[in-house]
Structure formats: structure tokens, C-alpha cells
A and B are shown apart, each in its own frame.
Chain A
Amino acid sequence: MTTLSESLDALAKTAQADVASAADLAALEAVRIRYLGRKGSLAAVLRGLGDLSSAERPAAGKLANDIKRALEAALDVRQTELEAAVQAAVLARERLDVTMPGRPLPMGRLHPSTRILRRICQIWADMGFQVYRSRDIETDEMNFELLNIPAYHPARDMWDTFYTTTDGVLLRTHTSPGQIRVMRERCPEPIRVILPGMCYRYEQITARSEIQFHQVEGLAVGRHITMTDLKGTLISFAHRMFGPERQVRFRASHFPFTEPSAEMDVECMLCGGAGCGVCKHSGWLEILGCGMVHPRVLQNGGYDPAQFSGFAFGMGPERITMLYHRIEDIRYFWANDLRFLEQF
């Protein structure tokens, strides 16, 4: 009995030492087979159990089982260790250069004019102004006459016009003919609409002027719409568009379809009013023209100017984009060069 337990103890010791020193999974597997395999050392020792007396046998059996279990546990631990080491080695081999560039996205983008139009229209939508679209090719009557700009009137100098070969048909010079169209369609309902659209002017294409450009015009008509409303509404717009802290000012101006007419300036958002190149060192940016709808225009839209009043305003989204992003050349907008478009 003593001899058996001694040899079991000795076996356990050498086995634990072999497990600890197994350098890799193959060596560990060899250790496992050597001690725990069917022809392994432990089995050989256990074959001696049969020679023991029945009194000795349980204790010796238990000892052998303990040793076996301890050895299995040690093998598992070692196995896990070695596996982790192998995985670590594999991962180390597969290490990436994380500074390599990522796979570029095939990104789509909106045109900058669409972006700004959406923003402008969204702000006005929140204030209850719905989009009203109207046509590009207009009659002289809609574009001028009904807006209180008769033929040869000095005010026509404000618009260099593309005429078509059809008498009395032209490319709209502003979105204002939409005012007449929406009024005629909706009269006598009150109106709050925003009219975005492409306009055209007979101009040399330069860094500062284009033959086509967007305009966003707004129109409110009702029985109690006043100049204080005009100011309040436009200031709200300016604060959302340019920032709640921006100063806003109104100057007297002239448009044939509004009376009184005004021009709204917003404190330069680039220099905060201190003066910079963009605002020509004035601290202010001209943002939109506006005014109370001229009584003749109301009349032409079907509304009795003694009962109804309204305000209108218009702005140039490309100009606002240019101010925002310090773009020096308006020609970029229709050139569609990806080197420009990709920056938005």
C-alpha cells in the first residue's frame, strides 16, 4: 500500500511539473496522453490496485482519483493558457495599421442651393408659410405690369430682362409674379406663402452676377397685417437663420410692388458686427428687401386694399450661401465642379 501511494504521489509531482513545462499545445497533449491515456502512467499505476487488499483499496482508489482530477484541472488551465498565447500570437501577426485611410463612402450630397432653400423654407414653414411654386416663363403682365411696373417705367431699370421671341413673354426676373398667381388663386382667403424659384437676369456672367439665380419670396395677406408684423416676422426669421443674438436693422428702400418698402440688414455673422471684408467693414450684411404690399398689387391679386393688407419680402439664397461660406465667385453654383460641391 505504501509503495502504491508513494508511487502515486511521485507520479503526481512529475505530472504537474510536466504540465507546467509543456511549451505548446502539442506538448501538452503529449503530457495528457503520457499520464492520462489508456496506456498512460496513471493507468499503469492503477492496474496495481488489484493487488491491494479490499481494506486498502478504497483509500488508494480515492487517492488515485484525486490525483487524476488535479492533473486534469492542471491540464485544462495550462491548455487555456497556451490557447490564449496562440491566439495572442495570431492577433499580433494580424495587427492592422490603424492609420491607413478608411474605405471612402460613396456619399451623395444636395446641391448647396437646395440645402439653403430647404433651410429657409423650413424656417418659414414653422412660421406657417407654405411653399407655392410658380412658373419660370412668364408674361410681361405678370412679371411687371401687375406688380406696378408699367412699360418704360424707371423702376424697370432695376431688372435687366431676358425677353423671348414671343411678344410679351419673358423669363421671370424675380419670383414676384407668383404673388399675383397665388393671390388670384386664393382670394379672398388670407395668404402666407413662400415662393422659391429660379429667376433670370440679362447680365454678363461674372464672379458677382449670374444669368440665373434662386430667389425666395414671401407673402402674407390678411385683414390685419401691418408693418410692425413685417418687422416682427422678419426679425424672427433672421434670428433663426443667422442666430438669436444677431442685430437686425431696417432701412427705407424702394420696390414698385411694396409701399412702404424697406431693406433688412443683419449684423455680419462672420465678424459679429466688428467689420470685415465680407461686410465691407460696415458690420452689416444686406439680406433681404421687403415692404407692405402695394395697394395696386393687392388689387391686381383680387383683394380690396381698403380691407386687406399684406407684406412681402425677397432674398437670394445663393447670396446668403456665399456670405456664410465666404464664397467669392457665384459662378461656382452652376459650374457643378465636384471640387466645389464636395465641400458641402
Chain B
Amino acid sequence: MRVPLSWLAEFIPVPIPVEQLADRLTFAGLEVSTIHRIGVAGSDLPWDLARIVVGQIQEVSPHPNADRLVLATVTYGPDRSKTVVTGAPNLPIGSRGQKVVLALEGAQLWDASSSTPATLTLKGRKVRGVYSDAMVCSERELGLSEDHEGILLLDDSAPVGAPAAEVLGDIVLEVEILANMARCLSIIGVAREVAALTGGTVRVPPPTMADTGAPVGQAIQLVIADPALSARYTATVLRGVTIGPSPEWVRRRLRLAGIRPINNVVDVTNYVMLEWGQPLHAFDYDVLVRRARGLPRIEVRPAHAGETITTLDGTVRSLTPERLLITDTAGPIAVAGVMGGAETEVTDATTNVLLESANFHFVSIRKTTQALKLPSEASARFGRGVPAALALPAAVRATALMQQLAGGEIAQGVADCYPAPQVPPVITLRGPDLERILGMPVPQADAVRILRALDFRCEEQGDDQIRVEVPAHRLDVGEGIVGVHDLAEEVARVIGYDRIPVTEMADTLPPQRDNVAVDREELARDLLVTAGLQEIITYRLTTPEREAALIPGNTEVPSYIQLANPISADRTVMRRTLRAGLLDVLAQNARLRERLAFFEIGPVYLLGADLLPDEPRRLAIGLAGRMSPPSWAEPEGTTTDFYALKGLVEGLLAGLHVPAPVFDPEEDPTFVPGRTARVSVAGRSVGIFGEVHPQVRKSFDLPLPAFVAELELEQVLSLVPVSYAVQAVPRFPPVLEDIALVVDDAVPAAAVMEAIRAAGGPLLAAVRLFDLYRGNQLSPGKKSLAFSLQFQAPDRTLTDQDVEGEKRRILGAVERALGARLRG
């Protein structure tokens, strides 16, 4: 909402500097985003008070040397006049008396011939042989608009010789209107706020009109089909208007407020809408009479299926019963509150006008605005709710102003169809209520003063209670306890939030709960970061195609949470896996870094039987490239591999103290067969990892081998023990014994380890695989696994015989179980 200060000042004196006013409004919930200054001090080009003044044309005569130019004599004070050369088409030869803006030598103006904003300083010069040291200005030269067709003609009331800045200069506040402040989509609405904030009083004289014509009831009949959709419809009729341009002050204010002037009748509808917040529409009354072949009967009703209307913009619109229409007996004449029809629009030929000032339900307007894609100043207001009470005063004000600008006779009275008048809420506001919400006592007198300044009618009922009647122009204040909160906000924001004291919460502390899931997840993050992984966060939106690329050859599409209104083709569903996002990140960074090591923690979205999906949190790890960052000290480096990834999974689980994870070979189309493992704990699978299949890598443009794990994080974290015992540090030295066992290639290392452990007994403290050998020294199909066995007793130093016995038992057991032989 753009609020010209000169307009605001008609309703409320502004006793403080504009910057202060802007601050007060901003702090009270009306954010002033910009202060525009036009012509006055502080604007981009302040108008020189002495050199840019109001002048009056005395004479317009031909230029002796140029057909397209004229000489105009302009007075700008007693005995002060200038002759100027101009080519303005709106100063015809022989005309006189027009008020203009005269610029004298030395004045700074905008250069109207420059395509980019530039200023010039006026100098005396000969134009086709006639010397002139002054000029009459166009709107563009003053920076008022782009208009440079003719010169700016002022209203007759402009005092000759006065600085233009005093007549035309202005300051416009650009105010952001929040949803609960729709009442401030009007000058009067803002004026009420200013009054409450500055302690002033709004002056809004009740509108009156000289309705000397025949009763309006003889000119129009009104019907509302459904008061839930249209609470009120009022109309006035003005006969004998002369369509023409509005006076300069109307056009100027409309322009300052951001609306293009059209003609006096249409301008009035916009002017009064800006002033009161009530959208209005003018119909050509004679067209209505012609269509009705008699007394027009206007009905507000939902469209019939298949009805069409050609709107003002020339578009033929098909209508559905969801669209609310203004109709007459011949059919639609306007889309209610959104746009008028072309046929009944006011034209230059219009002489009789029917002015609509009506009320429509905001939901209907919003639906229609969205469906027809027709946002407008009117629908913006209706769409946020306009009080039905506004219709009548706005109708009167607009009709009177229309008569003032366009002449004519006003039919007597306002046709008013208002089947179910809105009753504003009445709220009982008790002192303790305010204190309970705000935390500070508000003296009753202060509350009453503030609310009255905002037009609430207050009746004090004793020392501790106010009966508050909500003014009819407020729709944002509710009933009962909601209304109490609404009033608390009114009181607080007028007092100023910065004047509300500061306290520490004294309320009971809630029962404290352990946040195990969150704490353990953060622990997992720390472990992974410590292990050298970079955390990533990817889009949780993806496409089925992207995830299908993880499963080469698969055509089955699982059920996704699918967007009804995706904003781009690559974000259409919620992800079901973290793998795709991770592979994308690996691929993107592959060109940038030689070592890639990432993890992501976040939910996937799995549709089940319920309305809302499961959102299990998962953990994904991705590795590619070097094990360590490139360095001169290690120019070749080693490349990461399956076992690096497995080490991370093992390390994470160990760090979380998840007991006894088991790793088994697994098949999964994302991964290379034979290089894929499933990790299970207590018989339950908690994740899968492996080397990414070359075909998958290709789909993701990943140029180098990559290794990816995806774990069910919530399941993993649920296995974290609440506490675990720590063993005493042994007091006696361990005995280390290395053995190399030759087994069939197919025997898993884990089976050998398990057999060793099982046979080892209590003295075997640790088993570590330290070497794997396949080759010439062994028969084909065999491998050698070398283990370091650590024997330890808690109460003594072990002897060679102790260890020898243990070792023999272990060797015997692995030979029986797996055919393992000690390598010679």
C-alpha cells in the first residue's frame, strides 16, 4: 500500500517527522519498507523552491520561425513573467489561463530526452531565433511520471508563484500490509493507526451526497442469491455525467498510490477504494436498461454451468458454479469483485452511471482470482476481507465525488440489499487477562485510551473490566478468548513492544526427558566426522527415474510420495533411498577432489497403509578415490576399496558399542555381485554396503569406483546399549602367537576367526587377521590366512606350555571344522 502523506494528512495531522512516523508504524506492525520523496527535500531531484514555481499562461502565440512551436507568456507573480518556447500539444495558440509549472534559468530538471535517468540545468538559449530562459514542464521533466506528451496542467486552485514543491511535492510511504492488517489497505485505515500511535484524532466526516433525483428504487432492483457469498450489495445512480479526464489532484494521488488514471468516473472508483478500502465498480446504466428492456434487476449469484462473459480486458471467460457473478436478466455483467464485463463498461459515451459498492466473501474472491489468474487492486482487498459496513459510506462518498468531477444528478438514496447484517463482536476484557498474556499490568485507563483511539467502543465496568465493542470496520478481531488475545495485541503494539518489560520464565519446569534418539544420532555424526567423512545434506525431493537408475534393468516403480504441484521436473517425489543423492554428490565432486568421503543422515519416505508415510532415518556413506588427501609426501597414495568402507561400518558400530555385528555376502542390483555385504545385529539386518555396480556408476556419471553403504540408522541406534562394562587393564603381560592357516578359498575368513575364537577358551584374549596370501607357494584353490593370537590370563604370566596347549587345541579345532592346516 502506497500512502501519500498529503492524502493521509486530510484525515490525521502528522505531528512528527516522517522518519519517526515510519518507525512507529513499522514497530506497530505496519512495516514501512520505503519512503519515496517527490520534489521535496531528500528526493532524487528536489525542486528548486525559487526556480520551479506555479505559473499561469497569459497568451499563446505562434513562433515566428517554427510551425510546431509556440511562444507562451507565463506570469508567476506580480509583474513577473517569462516568454517560453514550447511544442506542447496541450497549449494551443490563443488559449490562456492554464496553470503550469514554470522552470526558471538555473533550475535542475530531469532530462526528458535521455533514455536513462539524467538531470540537466536550465540555461537561457535561442530556440529557432527566439531567446528563452525559462520553460514549462512536463511530468517527465519533474520526475512525476514518464509522460512527456504535453506539459503538466495544474488545477485552477494552484496559487501562482508558489513553489511547485509545495503544490505537487509529496512523500509516499510504502507500507507492507500483513494478513491481519487488511484494514490498512486504505488511507483512512492507515490514518486510524497513525492516530492511535501519535495520540491524534482521525477526522473522517460522514460522507453526504446531494441526491436530488428520482428515488434510486425506481432505477434499480437488487437481489442477493446467497448472503454467505455476498453479504451486501449497494448501488447508486448518477445521471448526466460528462466523461473526461480527472483534475490534476486526483490523477496525481492515484499515480502516487500506483494506479493509472483513466477517466473521471473510473478514477473515482479507484480513488475512493484507496481512501476507504472498499472496491467499487461503475456500470454504464443505459446499457443495463437496454439489456433489461426496462428496469434493470441486478442479482448476485453463482454462475450457471456453461455461462460465459467477456471481461473488460476483452477475454471471453467460461464460468463454473464456483464463480460468483453480478448478473442482470440478460446474463452476467461482471465477475463479482474481480473484473467487470466489457459490454457494461463505462466509455467516453457514457452519460448515466450505476455505481456498485458491494461485499463479497473473501474465499469466493480468492478462488476466482486464482482460477482466472486475475489479480487486481479490488480482488486483493476483497480477497483479504472487506467489512460489509464499508459499502454504504463508500457508495455515498464515491457518488458525491463523481458528481463533483463529472457532473450529473444523483438519484435519491442508496439501493441497499443487506439481508443479514454483520454484528461486530463484543468482548469482555478483564485486567487480569491482559496481565496474564502480556506479563505486565496495564492500567485500565491506558487500555481504554488505546482501544478508543483505534475506534473500539469501550465501556468501563468497574475497575477491572471493560466491555469492548469492535468497530464495524475491523474484521480481524474475534470473539471470546480469541478476542481477548486480539485486544492484548492491540494494546501491546500501541504501547510499543520495546516498552514491555523483560522477565525470566518463572513457570514450572516441565518433566525432563531423555532424548536418546537425538543424542545417539549426534554421536554417530561425531564418529563419522572423526573418521574423516564430510557430512552432506541433499534434496529430499527427487524423481522415480533417478532412483530407478540405482537398479539397472528394473522397470517396476515403487509407490512414492508424489507432489501434486512439482516446481521442477527433477523434484517430483520424496526419496525412498539416500543412495541416489549420495552418488550425485560423489559424481559432482569427482572432478574437484581426489579423495571423496561423505555421509548423509536423514529420512526416506515409505508409503505404507497409513495416510502419512513412514519416515525412517537412514545413514549413507560414500567413498571414492584416494584413501588420504593428495600430498607430495605420498604422491601415489592408495585407493579406497571395499574394506575401507567395511572398516568405517565396523568402526561406527564399535564406536556406538553395538554388539556383535555380523557381515554376510549379499546380492543387490546397486552393487557389484560378490562385493556386497549385509550387516546384521542380533539376527536383524541393519544395512547393506558394497562396491557400486559399473552400470549404476555410468548412470550417475561417476568416473571412478565408488563404495556405498546405506544403514537403517534408527535400528542401529536402538541397539546402542544404555551402558557397557569396561575391562580392567591386565596386570600380566600377554603372549603373542602367530599362526598361518591354509584353507579352501571358499572358506570365509569370518568362519575361520569364529572357529579360532570358539576353540580358544578364556585365555585367548584377541584374534587379529594380519595377512592373506594366495599364490605359487600354495596349491590352487587354497589361501593362507595369518592370525595373530593374543593369550592372556588375569592372574599370572602364561608359560610356554600354557600357550602351546591352547594353540594345539585351536589348530585341532579349525582343522576338524574347516580343514585348515598350519602353513609349513
Q: B728 an interface residue at 8 Å Cβ cutoff?
A: no
For the complex, give the distance between the alpha carbons of A294 and B220 in Å: 46
CB <8 Å contact, A260 and B492:
yes
23 CB-based A-B contacts, threshold 8 Å: A108-B528, A108-B535, A111-B536, A130-B515, A133-B518, A137-B615, A153-B179, A154-B179, A163-B565, A164-B564, A204-B567, A211-B567, A222-B505, A226-B437, A228-B503, A231-B497, A235-B502, A251-B29, A254-B179, A259-B485, A260-B493, A336-B589, A338-B592
For the complex, give the distance between the alpha carbons of A306 and B564 in Å: 40
Q: A165 an interface residue at 8 Å Cβ cutoff?
A: yes
Q: A93 an interface residue at 8 Å Cβ cutoff?
A: no
CB <8 Å contact, B597 and A212:
no
Q: With A227-B500, A228-B503, A251-B29 as given contacts, are A256 and B537 in contact (CB-CB < 8 Å)?
A: no
User: Which of A166, A191, A202, A338 has a CB less than 8 Å from the CB of B510?
Assistant: A191
CB <8 Å contact, A292 and B634:
no
Q: Which residues of A contact B541 (CB under 8 A)?
A: 200, 211-212
Q: With A158-B179, A250-B497, A338-B589 as given contacts, are A137 and B605 in contact (CB-CB < 8 Å)?
A: yes
CB <8 Å contact, A296 and B438:
no
Q: Which residues of B contact A164 (CB under 8 A)?
A: 561-564
Q: Which residues of B contact A252 (CB under 8 A)?
A: 27-29, 489, 492-493, 497
What is the chain A residue whose CB lies nearest that of B530? A108
What is the chain A residue whose CB lies nearest that of B533? A108
Q: How many residues in A have their beta carbons less than 8 Å from beta carbons of B?
A: 92
Q: Which residues of B contact A153 (CB under 8 A)?
A: 179
CB B240 to nearest CB in A, in angstroms, measures: 40
CB <8 Å contact, B497 and A190:
no
Q: A92 an interface residue at 8 Å Cβ cutoff?
A: no
Q: How many residues in B have their beta carbons less than 8 Å from beta carbons of A?
A: 100
CB <8 Å contact, B439 and A227:
yes
CB A284 to nearest CB in B, in angstroms, measures: 11
Q: Give 19 new A-B contacts, CB below 8 A, not counting A103-B628, A252-B28, A260-B488.
A: A104-B631, A105-B629, A108-B533, A163-B563, A169-B611, A171-B574, A186-B510, A224-B507, A229-B503, A229-B506, A231-B502, A251-B497, A254-B179, A256-B179, A260-B493, A309-B436, A335-B588, A336-B537, A336-B588
Q: B508 an interface residue at 8 Å Cβ cutoff?
A: yes
Those of B92-111 within 8 Å (CB) of chain A: none
Q: A225 an interface residue at 8 Å Cβ cutoff?
A: yes
CB <8 Å contact, B536 and A341:
yes
CB <8 Å contact, B540 and A296:
no
Q: A139 an interface residue at 8 Å Cβ cutoff?
A: yes
CB B568 to nearest CB in A, in angstroms, measures: 7
Q: Mark A88-119, 1 if CB is under 8 A from B, else 0.
A: 00000000000011011111111101100010
Q: Mark A301-330, 1 if CB is under 8 A from B, else 0.
A: 000011001000000000000000000000
Q: B482 an interface residue at 8 Å Cβ cutoff?
A: yes
CB <8 Å contact, A114 and B631:
no
- The segment out of B57-65, B231-239, B304-312, B361-369 that lies at the interface is B361-369
Q: Which residues of A contact B628 (CB under 8 A)?
A: 103-104, 106
What is the chain A residue whose CB lies nearest that of B31? A251
Those of B516-550 within 8 Å (CB) of chain A: 517-518, 522, 525, 528-541
User: Which of A165, A198, A224 has a CB less than 8 Å from the CB of B506?
Assistant: A224
CB A313 to nearest CB in B, in angstroms, measures: 13
CB <8 Å contact, A228 and B439:
yes
Q: Which residues of B contact A222 (CB under 8 A)?
A: 505, 507-508, 510
What is the chain B residue whose CB lies nearest that of A150? B363
For the complex, give the distance between the alpha carbons of A114 and B536 in Å: 9
What is the chain A residue whose CB lies nearest that of B522? A118
CB <8 Å contact, B585 and A336:
yes
For the complex, give the distance between the alpha carbons of A205 and B27 in Å: 31
CB <8 Å contact, B539 and A212:
yes
Q: Which residues of A contact B612 (CB under 8 A)?
A: 135, 137-139, 169
Q: Mark B469-511, 1 if CB is under 8 A from A, else 0.
A: 0000000000001101110110011000110111111111111
Q: Which residues of B contact A162 (CB under 8 A)?
A: 563-567
Q: A216 an interface residue at 8 Å Cβ cutoff?
A: no
CB <8 Å contact, B507 and A229:
yes
CB B234 to nearest CB in A, in angstroms, measures: 24
For the complex, give the distance between the alpha carbons of A342 and B26 in Å: 40
For the complex, give the distance between the alpha carbons of A252 and B493 in Å: 6
Q: Which residues of B contact A171 (CB under 8 A)?
A: 563, 574
Q: Which residues of B contact A136 (CB under 8 A)?
A: 540, 574, 603, 605, 615
Q: Mark A218-242, 1 if CB is under 8 A from B, else 0.
A: 0010111111110111011000000
Q: B595 an interface residue at 8 Å Cβ cutoff?
A: yes
Q: B119 an interface residue at 8 Å Cβ cutoff?
A: no
Q: B613 an interface residue at 8 Å Cβ cutoff?
A: yes
CB A344 to nearest CB in B, in angstroms, measures: 10
Those of A122-172 within 8 Å (CB) of chain B: 128, 130-131, 133, 135-139, 151-155, 157-158, 162-166, 168-169, 171
CB <8 Å contact, A336 and B507:
no
For the complex, give the distance between the alpha carbons of A249 and B562 in Å: 42
Q: A7 an interface residue at 8 Å Cβ cutoff?
A: no
Q: Which residues of A contact B627 (CB under 8 A)?
A: 106
For the complex, give the distance between the alpha carbons of A208 and B514 in Å: 37
For the complex, give the distance between the alpha carbons of A168 and B610 in Å: 13
Q: Which residues of A contact B565 (CB under 8 A)?
A: 162-163, 202
Those of B554-574 within 8 Å (CB) of chain A: 561-568, 571, 574
For the complex, give the distance between the alpha carbons of A100 and B633 in Å: 10
Q: A295 an interface residue at 8 Å Cβ cutoff?
A: yes
Nearest 3 Cβ contacts at the A-B interface: A226-B439, A228-B439, A252-B29
Q: B697 an interface residue at 8 Å Cβ cutoff?
A: no
Q: Which residues of A contact B489 (CB under 8 A)?
A: 252, 259-261
For the complex, give the distance between the alpha carbons of A338 and B29 in Å: 42
CB <8 Å contact, B182 and A154:
yes
What is the chain B residue whose CB lies nearest that of A334? B539
For the complex, give the distance between the alpha carbons of A231 and B438 in Å: 10
Q: Mark B597-630, 1 if CB is under 8 A from A, else 0.
A: 1100011010000011101000000000001111
Q: Which residues of B contact A250 (CB under 8 A)?
A: 497-498, 500
Q: A262 an interface residue at 8 Å Cβ cutoff?
A: yes
What is the chain B residue whose CB lies nearest that of A193? B510
CB A70 to nearest CB in B, in angstroms, measures: 47
Q: Mark A4-35, 1 if CB is under 8 A from B, else 0.
A: 00000000000000000000000000000000
CB <8 Å contact, B597 and A165:
no
CB A256 to nearest CB in B, in angstroms, measures: 7
Q: Mark A275-306, 1 if CB is under 8 A from B, else 0.
A: 00000000000000000101110000000011
Q: With A164-B562, A190-B507, A232-B502 as given contacts, are A154 and B438 in contact (CB-CB < 8 Å)?
A: no
CB <8 Å contact, A296 and B482:
yes
What is the chain A residue whose CB lies nearest that of B566? A162
Q: Which residues of B contact A165 (CB under 8 A)?
A: 562-564
For the complex, give the distance between the alpha carbons of A228 and B611 in Å: 41
Those of B49-98 within 8 Å (CB) of chain A: none
CB <8 Å contact, A338 and B534:
yes
Q: Which residues of A contact B31 (CB under 8 A)?
A: 251
CB B567 to nearest CB in A, in angstroms, measures: 6
CB B543 to nearest CB in A, in angstroms, measures: 14
User: Which of A104, A135, A220 has a CB less than 8 Å from the CB of B615?
Assistant: A135
For the complex, give the distance between the alpha carbons of A141 and B603 in Å: 22
CB <8 Å contact, A131 and B179:
no
Q: B114 an interface residue at 8 Å Cβ cutoff?
A: no
For the complex, give the distance between the alpha carbons of A118 and B634 in Å: 36
Q: A80 an interface residue at 8 Å Cβ cutoff?
A: no
Q: Which residues of B contact A245 (CB under 8 A)?
A: none
Q: B180 an interface residue at 8 Å Cβ cutoff?
A: yes
CB <8 Å contact, B513 and A130:
yes
Q: A203 an interface residue at 8 Å Cβ cutoff?
A: yes
CB <8 Å contact, B437 and A152:
no
Q: Mark B642-658, 1 if CB is under 8 A from A, else 0.
A: 00000000000000000
Q: B342 an interface residue at 8 Å Cβ cutoff?
A: no
CB A288 to nearest CB in B, in angstroms, measures: 14
CB A87 to nearest CB in B, in angstroms, measures: 25
Q: Which residues of A contact B660 (CB under 8 A)?
A: none
Q: Which residues of B contact A225 (CB under 8 A)?
A: 505, 507
